[in-house]
Amino acid sequence: MINRTNVKKAVYAYEDTIIQNIKKVFSYQFPAETDTILFEVHSGGYGLYGISITPMSEGEECNYDVKKLLS
């Protein structure tokens, strides 16, 4: 089970980096049908593992090409 307090601590520890990169995230070329961007925080015993960004449309994951998204 994930300890929510530890997740929050890990996110806050990386908050400055996340904020600095948020403009970059929103500059990605998301598919036209994207109506929501899902941010998932992955954590574990050693803190933050990473953050996933998934374009969604009507509650479903969009099919997208990662290379195109990051171009």
How far, CA to CA in Å, does 33 sit from each of 9, 10, 11, 21, 44?
34, 32, 29, 23, 33
pLDDT interval class at 61 (50, 70, 90) = confident
pLDDT score at 13: 67
Mean pLDDT over 56-63 rounds to 87
Burial class (CB in 10 A: 0-12, 13-18, 19+), 56: middle
DSSP 64: -
The 10s digit of each residue's pLDDT in 12-57 is 666 666 666 666 777 778 888 888 888 777 766 666 667 777 888 9
pTM > 0.75: yes or no: no
13-22, Cβ contacts within 8 angstroms, sequence gap of 24 or more: 13/47, 13/48, 14/48, 18/51
Could you tell me the residue ranges of all domains in the chain? 4-70
